Structure 1
Amino acid sequence: MAKTERFSITLTPELAALVEARVRSGQYASDSEVIRDGLRLLDARDRAVESWLKKEVVPAIGRAQADRSRLISGDDFDRQMEQRRKARASKAA
C-alpha cells in the first residue's frame, strides 16, 4: 500500500454535505476517497490550464504584439461578445 499522511480538514456545511452525499451514493467508499479524487481533478485542471496558456495564450499574445493592427478596443470586444451571445440565445430558442 502507498504511504499515506493524515490531515485534519475543516469544511463548510455545504462541502461536508457534498462529501457525505458522494459516499452515501456509493460512488466512493470513504470521505478520504472523495477528497483524494477532488484533489486529483484539481491538479488535472491546473495542468490543463497551464498547457492551454503555454500552447494557446502565449502564442496569441505574441501574434498580437507582432501585428497590432488586428487588435480591437475593449468596448468593441464587449459589443462583439454581446452580439455573439444574442445570436447563440436566438438559435437556442
Structure 2
Amino acid sequence: MDAMKISLSDPLKQFVDEEVAEGGYSSASDYVCDLIRQRRRRKAENLLRQLIAQGLASGPAKPLEPDHFDRMRRKSADRMNGAS
C-alpha cells in the first residue's frame, strides 16, 4: 500500500483528533479513509440519480421483442467464440 502524507493546519488537526476520539476511529488515517469512502458513495449516488433522471426524461418505455434476450445471448456467445 502506498502512503500519502497530508498537511493540516493546527485547527484542522485538532478537529481530526477530536473526530478520531469521539467517533471510535483507530487513527487519523482510519478517519480520512472513512471520509473518502463516504465521498465515493455520495458521488455514486449522485450519478445514479442523474442516470435515473435521464431515463425518466427519455420517454415511455417500449416493449422488447419476445426473443430479445435470446438474441443478446447468441450475439455474446458468437463474440466469445470468435475471440478464442
Place the TM-score, normalised by the shorter chain, in its bin.
0.5 to 0.7
Q: Which has the higher helix share?
A: 1
TM-score by length of 1: 0.53
Once the two structures are superposed, the pairs formed by residues 1-93 of structure 1 within 5 Å of their partners are: 4-25=1-22, 27-56=24-53, 58-59=54-55, 61-62=57-58
Aligned length: 59
Select the structure of larger CA radius of gyration. Answer: 2
Describe the shift of the 1:26–1:46 C-alpha distance in structure 2 as closer, same or farther (beyond 3 A): closer
Describe the shift of the 1:15–1:60 C-alpha distance in structure 2 as closer, same or farther (beyond 3 A): farther
Describe the shift of the 1:26–1:44 C-alpha distance in structure 2 as closer, same or farther (beyond 3 A): closer
Describe the shift of the 1:9–1:60 C-alpha distance in structure 2 as closer, same or farther (beyond 3 A): same
Q: After TM superposition, give the deviation of residue 23 of structure 1 in Å.
A: 1.6
Distance in structure 2 (CA, Å) of the matches to 1:59 and 1:14: 45
Structure 1: runs of 5 or more not aligned: 64-93
Matched to 1:41, the amino acid is Q
Deviation digits for residues 9-30 of structure 1 (CA, Å, limit 9, x no counterpart): 1234443233111222251010
Deviation digits for residues 27-57 of structure 1 (CA, Å, limit 9, x no counterpart): 101000000000000000000000000012x
Q: After TM superposition, give the deviation of residue 61 of structure 1 in Å.
A: 4.6
TM-score by length of 2: 0.58
